[in-house]
Structure 1
Amino acid sequence: MSLNLINDSWIPMRDRDGNLRLIAPWQMADSDLSWPAWPRPDLDIACIEFLTGLLRLADPPAHSDDWEDRQAPNPERLRIRLAAFAPAFELLGDGPRFMQELGGLTGDIRPAELLFLDSGGEGGAFTVHAGRYSDLSLPAAAMALYAMQTQAPSGGRGMLTSLRGGGGMSVLLDPGKGLWSLLWANVPDGRPGQISDLPWMRRTIPSDSGAVHVPPEPQPVEALFGMPRRYWLLAEGERVTGVIQRPSGTRYQGWQHPFAGHYLTKAGDEPLPVRPRPGHGGYRHWQGLALRDPEQLRLRPYNLAQWFDRARGEPADLILAGWAMSNAKAVDYLFSKVPLIDLDPQAEQLLIAMIEAANLFSQSLYGALTGAGIEGETRDLLRETLYVQTQSGFEQALSQLSAAPLAEEIRETLARSWLALLRKTAMALFEARVLPGLGDLPMDDQKKIADAHRNLGAAFAGYTPQGGKAFDALGLQRPVVKKKKEAA
């Protein structure tokens, strides 16, 4: 048995009443559907991107007016448009296979779980999660294959990353009105594609030949169907039991995924994709996404920039999702929703300054913990906890800024309150970790901890370089440093 990803009903979905359905892709235009129902959140996000990619391929809006005119779903129109692409979406069989090497591959057979980014295996991310899946259903294999190709991490010699970088962050707009509104909010404008636009419909030009693949036009279809890895699935009956993988797939150069934020290390540099960090997807992720970047070193994703042209102030949330990586190791999966912020420039600038101050003081906490002999995962966790424990304070400031114009006295009050909250939280985290049992330590260790504690306090008083920069960002006056009197 094979699976045709256009014609067959294979995608699990929840409707608004919580009932589970299996749908064919054209049924995404059913206004009663709410969210994918895969057993893993990374497959849910991959499914949303896959369906949005099919919209971009078969029936995209031509421009913002066309997008607005076609917001009401039309399942029959979509079914007809998608049907033309069915020959390119066979998962198995002798002809072209979805996201697999044209003509097949030979070589060592690896476990089917190689397709999951957080499973151990050659060319994948090396974690402790190997051995979970002896085989996969055809739908699960198809969705995992798409997720891997569009998020492929660094995986050793010849195992290339996805066109948005290894484990890049997905940024998706959600107007909160069900599945169709979510998909339609994110589909890029453009002309309908052709079967020949899909990379598995042509021979791979191996990257070890020096070949690179550049985008033929702005936001082409392949941006949502990038295929950097060379795979061939092996199946028995209705289960995928193994994978053959070969190195040196397609090397993408100059591409920007429409759902990925990017940043510049300095003006004029090549944009690099934003990657998730371990832990809570809170306010430290917001700059360049929910908030603008006044220095223009953080570039909003294409779908987000497009939203402001299309929706003209309509409310929406941002979904931030993706694997946080440590080299080739998947360490955490981020999934969070944050509000898309629409404030006047001065109020938005204060929020950006608050994030900058938090980043600077988190560095001060990190340095103080290092000085006190705290390193490794404990140090990283305490630094992340600073952000988590100040999230509600940041959101309270956002509520105040949304409710009233930003007068100077409000700005200064919020800045000083934020400084006080960061100081209270950071000092408490440091003291709870290093002060218990202090008297039992050798005198040299006691002195190191006391010095680290004093330096952390000095940062929050504005006396250290990081503290001074944080005061500047918040618009607060740095303390006056008195010069020492010269000896007579």
Structure 2
Amino acid sequence: MNLLDENWLPVRMHDGSQHWISPDRLSDPGIAAFDACRADFNGALAQFAIGLLQTCTLAASDSEWRALLKAPPDAATLAQWFAPHRAAFEFDGDGARFMQDFELRASDAEPNGIAALLIETPGENTIKNNGDHFVKRGQVRGLCPHCASLALFTLQSNAPAGGVGYRTGLRGGGPLTTLLIATGTPAAPAPLWQTLWLNVRAQGAFLADGVEPGMEAPYHTFPWLAAQSAIQKEQGDTTPLQVHPAHMFWAMPRRIRLDFDAVNAGACDLCHRPSERLIRQYVTRNYGFNYKGAWLHPLSPYYAGKDGLLPLHPQPDGLGYRHWLAWVLGMDNDKRKVQAASVVSHFLLQPRVEQKTGIALRLWAFGYDMDNAKARCWYDATVPLYGLGDCGPPEQKALREEVGAWLRGAELVASYLRAAVKDAWFSSDARGDFGFIDAAFWSRTEPNFYGLLRARIQDLREGSAGDPLAAAESWRRQLRAAALRLFDAELVGSSPISRQNPARIAAAHKQLSHSLDGPKLRQALGLPQSTKATAPTA
């Protein structure tokens, strides 16, 4: 089975029907989106398709790239692009297999149940302690080859810590991925091709730093085409200088080999389609590729850490508007420096890009929140850009500074509210997880943030500076009103009177109001300090 020929990619058409296609049909204008049976598979499918196109495209210049955005290549052209790499996409057989260790064989180790390919599957210790309360054991016993290939790619892309020598992915365990997505209208829906191609760069730009001598061999891109020792020495590392730049899309931290001998017919436990070859087990060994060094994956944002740039990962507080700036324009302040994914920054820096392409954009962010080997949550969100691509670099810089101030103010107000609720409910030394207070605050203020953001981007697109101070003052009032409403009506004020401490509540409310009207919030928002006491506002 070769994945370039097989109809294994689940997609949803614009008419709502579901089909399975081969990769050479990705440019079909009738395809709306990927439509796998799991959300993490949809994220993996997008990265697979983008990686395949980026690796194989013959578009060398930006002008060729733009031409293909407007007039996509047909299936025959895509098949021609992919043909030189056919050997890398064989999924079974005795030789090299897609995303599977070149040397490992089914008889080399004790088999694992196929469910262990899924990141959320409970591990041995969890099962031993009878701790699989939410994700139960025994739910997945057999996978069709299509779902098995998706599970394998998903694991290799997101690989969490898995014990001694079981490596994390090139971007660590459970990285955050951010992609540009094309939006359309009910009358003219955007095809999947536009979303995929927006995240691919012309080869001249993608390979701008060149390819290290000797890295043109296929196994430097697709590491399963040769023994691991061809790239990485025993107990060694793999750095960007040891491989082709496109290797980033095909990183293989785990040594895995699917067992195609122990198969039988039946229905797949994920997609529920019948298959003549349900895969039930695989073998694995530790000490796969150990990715170290200055890797900068084009689909992920990075932050400045002590050891250089590190990939962002979803956290337990979820995905929301407080991340908008870091994902879209990056951040650079005293507390944190974040670099947006290179596909995002590269596209947005092109002059009047949305106007020229006629494509409206949003940003899609997704990834696992991992606690070492434990998957706590899968996060998936899209955020608006409001035509930001039609703003030039000076306007984007001004917006970065403004939105940075708005977010600093929001973080400050969230801390004020959290402290006030805690003081109203408990003594000052109370301990516990108060994250639900922050979650309520960020959720409540999200519509106001996006309303203000849309207006500011509209001003900048039209060449009007607008009034940044008026926008900041409006935001201050909205933050203040939201914090007081949450305190009065939904958090403290909603509890039974018999269980309240009026004196403590009054003191906490007074302190909250004082902080919300104080100089520290105005400073965070870049507002001038008031020359007289600020009257309380509703």
TM-score (norm 2): 0.78
Matched, 1:286 2:324: yes
Q: Which amino acid aligns with 1:388?
A: S
For residues 323-402 of structure 1, what are the structure 2 equivalents within 5 Å?
A: 323-340=368-385, 341-342=388-389, 343=391, 344=395, 345-371=397-423, 372-373=425-426, 376=432, 379-402=434-457
Taking the aligned partners of 1:265 and 1:280, their CA distance within structure 2 comes to 21
Q: 1:25 aligns with which of 23, 26, 29?
A: 23
> In structure 1, what is the equivalent of residue 245 of structure 2?
220
> In structure 2, what is the equivalent of residue 459 of structure 1?
515
> In structure 1, what is the equivalent of residue 110 of structure 2?
108
> In structure 2, what is the equivalent of residue 182 of structure 1?
195
For residues 169-208 of structure 1, what are the structure 2 equivalents within 5 Å?
A: 169-176=176-183, 177-190=190-203, 195-196=218-219, 197-205=221-229
Taking the aligned partners of 1:381 and 1:479, their CA distance within structure 2 comes to 33
Structure 1 residues 169 and 34 mapped into 2: Cα distance closer, same or farther (>3 Å)? same
Deviates more, 1:448-457 or 1:338-347: 448-457
Question: Is the contact between residue 158 and residue 208 of structure 1 (CA under 8 Å) also seen in structure 2?
Answer: no
Matched, 1:247 2:253: no
Deviates more, 1:201-210 or 1:99-108: 201-210
Question: Is the contact between residue 459 and residue 465 of structure 2 (CA under 8 Å) also seen in structure 1?
Answer: no
Taking the aligned partners of 1:217 and 1:301, their CA distance within structure 2 comes to 23
> In structure 2, what is the equivalent of residue 44 of structure 1?
42
Structure 1 residues 362 and 19 mapped into 2: Cα distance closer, same or farther (>3 Å)? same
CA shift for structure 1 position 110:
2.3
Taking the aligned partners of 1:425 and 1:211, their CA distance within structure 2 comes to 53
Matched, 1:211 2:256: no
Structure 1 residues 376 and 31 mapped into 2: Cα distance closer, same or farther (>3 Å)? farther
Q: Which amino acid aligns with 1:275?
A: H
> In structure 2, what is the equivalent of residue 119 of structure 1?
121
CA shift for structure 1 position 39:
0.9
Deviates more, 1:205-214 or 1:134-143: 205-214
For residues 254-333 of structure 1, what are the structure 2 equivalents within 5 Å?
A: 254-265=294-305, 269-278=307-316, 281-295=319-333, 297-308=337-348, 312-314=352-354, 315-333=360-378
Structure 1 residues 136 and 81 mapped into 2: Cα distance closer, same or farther (>3 Å)? same
> In structure 2, what is the equivalent of residue 404 of structure 1?
459
CA shift for structure 1 position 51:
1.1
For residues 42-121 of structure 1, what are the structure 2 equivalents within 5 Å?
A: 42-71=40-69, 72-74=71-73, 75-105=75-105, 106-121=108-123
Matched, 1:161 2:168: yes
Deviation per CA, 1:140-174, whole angstroms, max 9, x where unpaired? 11111111111112333322221112111111111
Q: 2:157 aligns with which of 150, 161, 165?
A: 150
**SS of structure 2 residue aligned to 1:333:** strand
> In structure 1, what is the equivalent of residue 267 of structure 2?
none
- Percent of pairs with identical residues: 27
**SS of structure 1 residue aligned to 2:308:** coil
Q: 1:129 aligns with which of 132, 135, 151?
A: 135
Taking the aligned partners of 1:242 and 1:454, their CA distance within structure 2 comes to 63
Q: 2:259 aligns with which of 234, 249, 253?
A: 234
Q: Which amino acid aligns with 1:233?
A: L
Q: Which amino acid aligns with 2:51?
A: G
Structure 1 residues 428 and 326 mapped into 2: Cα distance closer, same or farther (>3 Å)? farther
CA shift for structure 1 position 47:
0.4
CA shift for structure 1 position 118:
2.2
CA shift for structure 1 position 5:
0.9
Deviates more, 1:184-193 or 1:219-228: 184-193
Taking the aligned partners of 1:200 and 1:346, their CA distance within structure 2 comes to 46
Taking the aligned partners of 1:103 and 1:244, their CA distance within structure 2 comes to 12
Taking the aligned partners of 1:154 and 1:36, their CA distance within structure 2 comes to 28
**SS of structure 2 residue aligned to 1:142:** helix
- The CA RMSD measured in Å over matched residues stands at 3.3
Deviates more, 1:190-199 or 1:42-51: 190-199
> In structure 1, what is the equivalent of residue 486 of structure 2?
429
> In structure 2, what is the equivalent of residue 486 of structure 1?
none
Q: Which amino acid aligns with 1:73?
A: P
Q: Which amino acid aligns with 1:81?
A: W
Taking the aligned partners of 1:286 and 1:96, their CA distance within structure 2 comes to 42
TM-score (norm 1): 0.86
CA shift for structure 1 position 184:
1.1
Deviates more, 1:395-404 or 1:431-440: 431-440
Taking the aligned partners of 1:124 and 1:223, their CA distance within structure 2 comes to 32
Taking the aligned partners of 1:328 and 1:452, their CA distance within structure 2 comes to 41
Question: Is the contact between residue 208 and residue 248 of structure 1 (CA under 8 Å) also seen in structure 2?
Answer: no
Q: Which amino acid aligns with 1:195?
A: P
Taking the aligned partners of 2:14 and 2:398, their CA distance within structure 1 comes to 40
CA shift for structure 1 position 333:
2.1
**SS of structure 2 residue aligned to 1:330:** strand
Question: Is the contact between residue 234 and residue 242 of structure 1 (CA under 8 Å) also seen in structure 2?
Answer: yes
Question: Is the contact between residue 6 and residue 85 of structure 1 (CA under 8 Å) also seen in structure 2?
Answer: no
Deviates more, 1:294-303 or 1:49-58: 294-303
Deviation per CA, 1:239-264, whole angstroms, max 9, x where unpaired? 12123232221111121211000011
Q: Which amino acid aligns with 2:240?
A: P
Question: Is the contact between residue 456 and residue 466 of structure 2 (CA under 8 Å) also seen in structure 1?
Answer: no
Structure 1 residues 337 and 441 mapped into 2: Cα distance closer, same or farther (>3 Å)? closer
**SS of structure 1 residue aligned to 2:32:** strand
Structure 1 residues 8 and 381 mapped into 2: Cα distance closer, same or farther (>3 Å)? same
Question: Is the contact between residue 175 and residue 368 of structure 2 (CA under 8 Å) also seen in structure 1?
Answer: yes
**SS of structure 1 residue aligned to 2:451:** helix
> How many pairs were matched up?
470
CA shift for structure 1 position 231:
1.5
CA shift for structure 1 position 358:
1.3
CA shift for structure 1 position 65:
2.5
Taking the aligned partners of 1:151 and 1:57, their CA distance within structure 2 comes to 20
Structure 1 residues 122 and 414 mapped into 2: Cα distance closer, same or farther (>3 Å)? farther
What stretches of structure 2 of length at least 5 have no aligned partner?
A: 184-189, 265-276, 355-359, 534-538
